[in-house]
Amino acid sequence: MTAEQIYSLGMSQIGVVFFLASFRIHLQVQHRQSLLLLQLLFFFDSLSWLFYVWQDQPLTLFLSCVTSCINVWLVLAFAMRRAGSTVKWPLIICGMLLHAGYYSYFAIQGMQAYVLHGQTLFSTLAIAPVCWLFWFKKQPRTFSDQLYVGAMLVWLLVCGSRSVLLLFAPEWLFSSLLVTQVIWPGVMVAYGIFAITSYMEETELKLKGEALHDPLTGLLNRRGMLESIRACLSYLQRKQQHAALLMIDLDFFKKINDAHGHDVGDLVLVEVADALALQLRESDVLARFGGEEFLLFLPQTSTEQAKLVAERLLAAVNALQLAVLAQSAQKLSISIGIANFGPDYDFASQLKRADQALYRAKDLGRCRIEIASE
């Protein structure tokens, strides 16, 4: 075998490795189509290099060109799904056919100048949108996604530089092709690795989010609140600025559960959480503390200001009218205990004070606000 054949066979093996590695990714249903597209593009990439081993035969050269073009446009289809968009198959198939027809015709004719310029044109048409989709549309955009975009830009740079050299410095073209052969395995490995690790990072972010959020209401849980406000508390302590902690309890929630069932109870918790959230600033942090209790952190808020916020929350919950409770005479209400940070910025101690104030509010008849004693 020639050195070029060995090189092509090695590139094909890289594609096989990524194709097999992609089957080790286990995803939820909504991501399976993008994973299938990733597997297909690895498969066709590997196949194109394998056919290229016998490029001196018209049939295998044609098959190499076609499978290579399919790979390029599958990259765009993959990017569309990863960005949460619908794959525009008429556009993808049209691009594949035009690209494959152009590439295979001029490659078989041995017209390398047209081949290089065509590859630059079609690669730009397919890969430039890939970069845009991964950078601007995909959410969440992980670090692997950013590196993936970098690999795609190198792909475009390699193709573009060959066309520029062919036009303005053809004597340097042979050297650039040698450099390309050194760079291209790195590009292939990079986009393969980062496409796979992007899924892994997303899974990690999802698991972290689940660990910090209440699955019913979507609010932060206690741990999530602690992580969210830790840096803020340190800043407030340095600046000696006020903050308030509100402990909120949904009154007579057990009666709702007993009378209507846990499904209705869950719905009530969700509606109350939404009603509370609508009254808050972006900087405020609301969490479900557990059961029917909520916790609210108000940065840069005095005791008097916190009481005004608490009054709004009280009114918002009192105004709730739920269809599931229409046959019941019971009205929704909350009790609130308020503790103020400063000069003590210890979260645990302020939580205890807010809890004591809450219990005082409940002992005094519920549906009221109590402020922790200094």
Strand 334-341 with 369-371, pairing: parallel
Cα separation, 334 vs 250, in Å, equals 5
Phi, psi angles (nearest 5°) of residue 190: -65, -50
Residue 342 and residue 242 in contact, taking contact as beta carbons nearer than 8 Å = yes
Residue with tokens 């050195």, as numbered in its chain: 3
Cα separation, 256 vs 267, in Å, equals 11
Residue 247 and residue 336 in contact, taking contact as beta carbons nearer than 8 Å = yes
Annotation says 293 is catalytic: no
Residue 82 and residue 133 in contact, taking contact as beta carbons nearer than 8 Å = yes
- Tell me the DSSP string of 99-165: HHHHHHHHHHTT-HHHHHHHHHHHHHHHHHHHHHIIIII-SS--HHHHHHHHHHHHHHHHHHHHHHH
Q: How many CA atoms lie within 13 A of 322 on its CB side?
A: 24
Strand partners, 298: 244
Q: Which of 292, 293, 311, 370 is catalytic?
A: 292
Q: Which amino acid type is present at position 195? A: A
- Residues identified as active-site: 292
